[in-house]
Chains A and B, each alone.
Chain A
Amino acid sequence: MDFSLLTTEILVALIGLLVLVVGLVLPDRGKQLVGKLSLLALAIVLVYALIAFPREASYFNGIYQVDVFGNYFKILFLIAGILVMLSASKYIKRFAAKSSEFYGLMILATLGMMVLSASGDFITMYIGLELMTISFYILTAYLQSDKRSSEAGLKYLILGAISSAVLLFGMSLVYAMTGTTIISEIAGAWTMQPAMAAGLVMIIAGFAFKISVIPFHMWAPDIYQGAPIPVTTYLAVGSKAAAFAALVRVFMLAFPPGSISFNWNIILAVLAVLTMVIGNLIALTQKNVKRLLAYSSIAQAGYILVGLVAANTYGLKGVLFYAMLYVFSNTGAFAVATAVEVDAGSTDIDAFNGLAKRSPMLAAIMTVCMLSLAGIPPMAGFVGKFYLFSGAIQAGYLWVAIIGLVMSMVSVYYYLGVAKAMYIGVSIDENPIKLDVPAQMALWACLAGTLLIGIYPGPLSNFVQTAISMFL
């Protein structure tokens, strides 16, 4: 076995642990510096991961898989992590003495996501999932002085633990019916029995919790609102993408569509439609941008799920493509919200009033990112939705695609509500919002990503095509 292929994971683990340990012994200023250095290190790892993209290997009888699909997601998590931590550089001052642990936990969460997306076995998958989730429990409650933050942390922990239990129960049923926990071996070893169907449904439910699919979404708005905003961002773009990666891997490898009499696509289709409809409808009524983005990201999960429902080339391509552009667009929107929260201490829509006059660039980035989320061309979101919905139409789920399109139209309303506040609203404070350099870098990167992917989707599309080739 060639362990050099695990370099990405090993490096991320090392960086995370080092930051934790070194941060303990250093004075406050040193802790900030450690964080910055760890970002630099992550950037180097990202470059390495890009170079190592095509390399593949399988470890311990397939328990751990290094393949293009997993590598694609590793790159995604690294990009997301770096962007989120850059955008948070000013916000982190609120954590004072605990800022280096913040970086450490974020990096360990990244590691969890990587393991989750690359695992070839239920056990590894569970470990990755929990590494990610437990880090997030702590991060969610990281603002100790804020009642909401610790409340969100506790809620997340209880609901998360229940969902893990459900997931595990489902896994145990599948294990009972097939005698193995290795995903690729499951494919040939099962027959459709009631217990098998029950196991499958529970696995779907377990992952549906992580990607906040209705009716397993209830945690998301509360936790998104209560958590420190960088954590919210990472939950929305990273944790969700990781759960999608695992879901795609399990269902495409162990239960390939068409091979079984039991049609899981239809279950996912119903869930996706519910998610798109309810997520968007509730988002219409929100007055807090963080909570609004929470419901929006529930709805976005519904769109992405449509790709898995279709389970064909375009659908899967859409899932991966959308996950990537979602990193840029959503992080961009959240980064602006972060800047506003640092400045005004609130993320209510009123806090965005007059932002276009105060900081035109911030308002513009927010608008572009939100229009991308709404799927307006030429922003990236349009291309992503095009892939997702045309995949669904190709697979015969026309009704899902139509509902998705109608709901995208609905979503424009609340996205533009924020734009309206920024461009028409009047603010007492006329001073521009001051940004530090890392946050600016993150904002520019998000804007560039959103626009470039939208205008010239070719390269990313090819990249994604390679990544999903193993399933088709």
Chain B
Amino acid sequence: MIGLTHYLLLGTVVFCIGLFGVLSKRNAIAVLMSVELMLNAVNINFVAINKFITPNDVTGQLFSIFVIVVAAAEVAVGLALIISIYRHRKSVDLNDFNLLKW
């Protein structure tokens, strides 16, 4: 029987995969995708918790819908920023973006 623990484990694993991507990928777009993965891990958590712990209301589902919407907005802005920076640098490699330091 698949229970809450399994879902939470799945969520955690996906979160960590996203995290790994954020830390290791050099391409800005790939990093954005990894961030999405992290957010979706949270969504899995919310929906599963809603189902198993408070089956009578929809708080968790509501939360995850909000997260999806906000994440979409975030990605839109993120892509726009990447385009803007690409115009300057002709690159989307995060290693190149270190004008600001120390």
Chain A residues within CB distance 8 Å of chain B: 122-123, 126-127, 130, 134, 137-138, 141, 144, 147-148, 150-155, 157-158, 161-162, 164-165, 168-169, 171-173, 175-176, 179-181, 221-222, 225-226
| A-contacting residues, B61-102, CB 8 Å | 62-63, 66-67, 70, 73-74, 77-78, 81-82, 84-85, 88-89, 94, 97, 99-101
With a cutoff of 8 Å between Cβ atoms, the chain B residues found around residue A123 in the complex are 59, 62-63, 66
Q: Determine if A181 and B63 form an interchain contact, defined as CB atoms under 8 angstroms apart.
A: yes
With a cutoff of 8 Å between Cβ atoms, the chain B residues found around residue A137 in the complex are 74, 77-78, 81
Knowing A148-B100, A154-B82, the reply to whether A172 touches B45 (Cβ < 8 A) is yes
Specify which of A151, A158, A179 is in contact with B99 (CB 8 Å cutoff).
A151
In the assembled complex, the CB of B14 is this many whole angstroms from the nearest CB of chain A, namely 11
With a cutoff of 8 Å between Cβ atoms, the chain A residues found around residue B53 in the complex are 175-176, 179
Knowing A137-B77, A164-B39, the reply to whether A151 touches B100 (Cβ < 8 A) is yes
Query: In the docked arrangement, what's the CA distance between A148 and B28, Å?
Result: 16
Knowing A147-B99, A176-B8, the reply to whether A165 touches B32 (Cβ < 8 A) is no
Specify which of B31, B42, B73, B82 is in contact with A130 (CB 8 Å cutoff).
B73
With a cutoff of 8 Å between Cβ atoms, the chain A residues found around residue B84 in the complex are 141, 144, 150, 153
With a cutoff of 8 Å between Cβ atoms, the chain B residues found around residue A164 in the complex are 39, 74
In the assembled complex, the CB of B19 is this many whole angstroms from the nearest CB of chain A, namely 8
Q: Determine if A150 and B81 form an interchain contact, defined as CB atoms under 8 angstroms apart.
A: yes
| A-contacting residues, B5-22, CB 8 Å | 8, 11, 15, 18-19, 22
Q: Determine if A175 and B49 form an interchain contact, defined as CB atoms under 8 angstroms apart.
A: yes
Knowing A148-B100, A157-B77, A179-B54, the reply to whether A126 touches B66 (Cβ < 8 A) is yes
Chain B residues within CB distance 8 Å of chain A: 4, 8, 11, 15, 18-19, 22, 28, 31-32, 35, 38-39, 41-42, 45-46, 49, 53-54, 59-60, 62-63, 66-67, 70, 73-74, 77-78, 81-82, 84-85, 88-89, 94, 97, 99-101
Query: In the docked arrangement, what's the CA distance between A424 and B28, Å?
Result: 46
Knowing A126-B67, A130-B74, A225-B100, the reply to whether A158 touches B22 (Cβ < 8 A) is yes
In the assembled complex, the CB of B97 is this many whole angstroms from the nearest CB of chain A, namely 5
Q: Determine if A165 and B38 form an interchain contact, defined as CB atoms under 8 angstroms apart.
A: yes
In the assembled complex, the CB of B86 is this many whole angstroms from the nearest CB of chain A, namely 9
Q: Determine if B38 and A134 form an interchain contact, defined as CB atoms under 8 angstroms apart.
A: no
In the assembled complex, the CB of A210 is this many whole angstroms from the nearest CB of chain B, namely 15
Complex A-B: 26 CB contacts under 8 Å: A122-B63, A123-B59, A123-B62, A123-B66, A134-B70, A134-B74, A134-B77, A137-B81, A141-B81, A141-B84, A147-B85, A147-B99, A150-B85, A150-B88, A153-B81, A157-B81, A158-B28, A158-B31, A158-B94, A165-B35, A168-B67, A173-B45, A175-B49, A181-B59, A226-B99, A226-B100
With a cutoff of 8 Å between Cβ atoms, the chain A residues found around residue B39 in the complex are 161, 164-165, 168
Specify which of B4, B15, B22, B100 is in contact with A152 (CB 8 Å cutoff).
B100
With a cutoff of 8 Å between Cβ atoms, the chain A residues found around residue B101 in the complex are 222
With a cutoff of 8 Å between Cβ atoms, the chain B residues found around residue A126 in the complex are 63, 66-67, 70
Which single residue of chain A is at the shortest CB-CB distance from B82? Answer: A154
Q: Determine if A162 and B42 form an interchain contact, defined as CB atoms under 8 angstroms apart.
A: no
With a cutoff of 8 Å between Cβ atoms, the chain B residues found around residue A157 in the complex are 74, 77-78, 81
Query: In the docked arrangement, what's the CA distance between A221 and B102, Å?
Result: 8
Which single residue of chain A is at the shortest CB-CB distance from B36? Answer: A161
Specify which of B8, B66, B67, B97 is in contact with A154 (CB 8 Å cutoff).
B97
With a cutoff of 8 Å between Cβ atoms, the chain A residues found around residue B8 in the complex are 176
With a cutoff of 8 Å between Cβ atoms, the chain B residues found around residue A171 in the complex are 63
Q: Determine if A180 and B59 form an interchain contact, defined as CB atoms under 8 angstroms apart.
A: yes
Query: In the docked arrangement, what's the CA distance between A225 and B67, Å?
Result: 30
Q: Determine if B99 and A169 form an interchain contact, defined as CB atoms under 8 angstroms apart.
A: no
Query: In the docked arrangement, what's the CA distance between A144 and B83, Å?
Result: 11
Query: In the docked arrangement, what's the CA distance between A181 and B77, Å?
Result: 28
Knowing A137-B77, A172-B45, A175-B59, the reply to whether A162 touches B35 (Cβ < 8 A) is yes
In the assembled complex, the CB of A431 is this many whole angstroms from the nearest CB of chain B, namely 31
Q: Determine if B41 and A169 form an interchain contact, defined as CB atoms under 8 angstroms apart.
A: yes
With a cutoff of 8 Å between Cβ atoms, the chain A residues found around residue B62 in the complex are 123
Query: In the docked arrangement, what's the CA distance between A342 and B73, Å?
Result: 33
Query: In the docked arrangement, what's the CA distance between A8 and B67, Å?
Result: 26
Q: Determine if B60 and A175 form an interchain contact, defined as CB atoms under 8 angstroms apart.
A: yes
Query: In the docked arrangement, what's the CA distance between A179 and B4, Å?
Result: 13
Knowing A123-B66, A169-B15, A179-B53, the reply to whether A161 touches B78 (Cβ < 8 A) is yes
Query: In the docked arrangement, what's the CA distance between A151 and B59, Å?
Result: 37
Q: Determine if B45 and A176 form an interchain contact, defined as CB atoms under 8 angstroms apart.
A: yes
With a cutoff of 8 Å between Cβ atoms, the chain B residues found around residue A130 in the complex are 70, 73-74
With a cutoff of 8 Å between Cβ atoms, the chain A residues found around residue B94 in the complex are 158
With a cutoff of 8 Å between Cβ atoms, the chain B residues found around residue A181 in the complex are 59, 63
Which single residue of chain A is at the shortest CB-CB distance from B54? Answer: A179
Query: In the docked arrangement, what's the CA distance between A147 and B99, Å?
Result: 8
Given A134-B70, A158-B31; 13 other pairs, CB 8 A cutoff: A126-B63, A130-B70, A130-B73, A137-B74, A147-B85, A162-B35, A165-B41, A168-B67, A176-B8, A176-B49, A179-B53, A180-B59, A226-B100
Which single residue of chain A is at the shortest CB-CB distance from B77? Answer: A137
Query: In the docked arrangement, what's the CA distance between A288 and B100, Å?
Result: 12
